[in-house]
Amino acid sequence: MRRNGKIETSLLAPPANTPLKFPTWIQPFHSKDRAHRSRTTTNQHGVEAFRKFVETGRVAFIADGPNEGKLCAIVNIIDQNRVLVDGPLTGITRQEMSLKKLHLTTLGVKFPWTAPTRVVRKAWIAEKIDEKWKASRWAQRVAARKIRQNLTDFERFKLNSARRTRNKLRRNVYLSLLTKTKKSTGGILKPRKSRNGKKKAGARKK
């Protein structure tokens, strides 16, 4: 700032030789430092911090729409609500998609910003995204949910019968262990703590 023929520096402005720092979500995923930080970020207590960011190369699960259940990779960020996605190996053509329809995964693909489809396909195969996704618990839960939805009435009846049998056997084992514990402790059971920290009685009083 020039005032009275002299150049004055503002306290809010950075020095002239200081490099500008952009938000992390603008930087491409192919940066080695950025990719390393997103996977190994820890807080002051040594606990791993959040690492699923909306960024170029992030693999997302489509949770709504005609392409529900498929994977795609974020190619470009349009604004805070929309991104450009591409999934050459999952049947997803390059298109604009709302972030409300996407669930971010921990998987990522390394390619430049706004990379063409052939580059995305090559990086997808190199990172073995399909194999990693099938081995994840998330994919297994999705597959199990689809199987339950496609059950017939008779198959659903057999499943409920098996659940009742399992619960009955589990309860019998629990009651037998509870009886043995009562006999060994003289009928006195120590109260156990629940998840919220409150104490629960070991057995109900009759």
Burial of 108 (0-12, 13-18, 19+ CB in 10 A): buried
Per the document, the length of the chain is: 206
What are the structural domain ranges in the chain?
A: 25-129, 136-174
**Residue 52 scores a pLDDT above 90:** no
Per-residue CA distances from 134 to 11, 53, 101, 129, 139 (Å): 53, 21, 21, 9, 6
Give per-residue pLDDT as tens, 23-46.
444 444 443 333 333 444 555 555
Give per-residue pLDDT as tens, 94-124.
999 999 999 999 999 999 988 999 999 999 9
Burial 157-173 (b: 16+ CB within 10 A, else e): eeeeeeeeeeeeeeeee
Could you tell me the sign of the dihedral formed by the alpha carbons of 182, 184, 188, 192, in that order? negative
Q: State the pLDDT at residue 185.
A: 79
Give per-residue pLDDT as tens, 154-171.
999 999 999 999 999 999
Q: State the pLDDT at residue 128.
A: 94
Q: Which residues contact 29 (CB under 8 A, 6 or more apart)?
A: 35, 55, 56, 57, 58, 108, 109, 110, 111
Q: State the pLDDT at residue 113.
A: 87
Domain topology for 25-129: SH3 type barrels. (2.30.30)
Tokens matching residue 6: 């002299």
Average pLDDT rounded to a whole number, residues 172-189:
84
Average pLDDT rounded to a whole number, residues 126-151:
92
**Residue 91 scores a pLDDT above 50:** yes
